[in-house]
Amino acid sequence: MKEAMVNALNAQVNAEFYSSYFYLGMESYFQSLSLNGFAAWMRAQVQEEMFHGMKMYDYIHERGGKAVLEAIERPEQTWASPLACFEQVLAHEQKVTALINNLMDVAIENRDHAGKFFLDWFVGEQVEEESTVGAVVDKLRLIGDNSSALFLLDAELAKRIFTPPVK
C-alpha cells in the first residue's frame, strides 16, 4: 500500500476515534437530562464509530502498513437543546462523509483497487448514517416544545442497539 494511502487511512482512524469520543460527550449530555433513550442511542453510536476506527486500523495492518495514533480533541459536552445536539450530529456526519469521499479519492488516484473495495463499505455506511440522523432531526423539529412527544421519541431511540456488522 502506498504511503499516501497509509497516511490518509491513519488520519481517518483518528477521525473515527474522535467521532466515538464526540458521541460519548453527547451521551453524557443526554444522561444529565435524564433522556436515557437519547443517551442509549448515542452509546450505540459510540460503539459504531469505535468499530469503524478499528476496522480501518486493522485494514492498515492487514495491508502491511503501520497504524499511528494521534491525540484526540476534547469534544463539546453541552447543547442548547436535543435538537441543537442532533443538528450538530448531522453536520458531523456530513463532514465524515466528505472525509470518506476524500479517502476514496486517494484510493482512486493511487490505483489502490483493494483500498477502493474496502472503502465502498464506508461510503454506503455514510449514506445510512446521514439518513438515520436526518430522520431524528426531522422528528425533533416536528416535536418542537412538546415534552410528551420528546419522551415518546426518547422511548423509540432507546431501542437502538449496536450490532457489529459481519466483516
Question: What b-and-e string marks burial along 43-82, b requiring 16 or more CB atoms within 10 Å of the CB?
Answer: bbbbbbbbbbbbbbbebbeebebebeeeeeeebeeebeeb
pTM over 0.85: yes
pLDDT band, very low/low/confident/very high, at 82 (cuts 50, 70, 90): very high
The CATH number of domain 3-157 is 3.90.79.10: no
pLDDT value of position 58: 97
pLDDT band, very low/low/confident/very high, at 70 (cuts 50, 70, 90): very high
CA atoms in the 13 A half-sphere facing the CB of 157: 28
Longest dimension (CA), the chain: 54
Contacts (Cβ under 8 Å, ≥6 apart) of 55: 167
Mean pLDDT of 93-101: 98
Alpha helices in 33-161 (DSSP H): 36-62, 82-109, 113-143, 147-157
Looking at every residue in the chain, the average pLDDT score rounds to: 96
Percent of the chain with pLDDT over 90: 97
Percent of the chain with pLDDT over 70: 99
The answer to whether residue 64 scores a pLDDT higher than 80 is yes
| CA of residue 41 relative to chain centroid, distance | 12
pLDDT value of position 167: 62
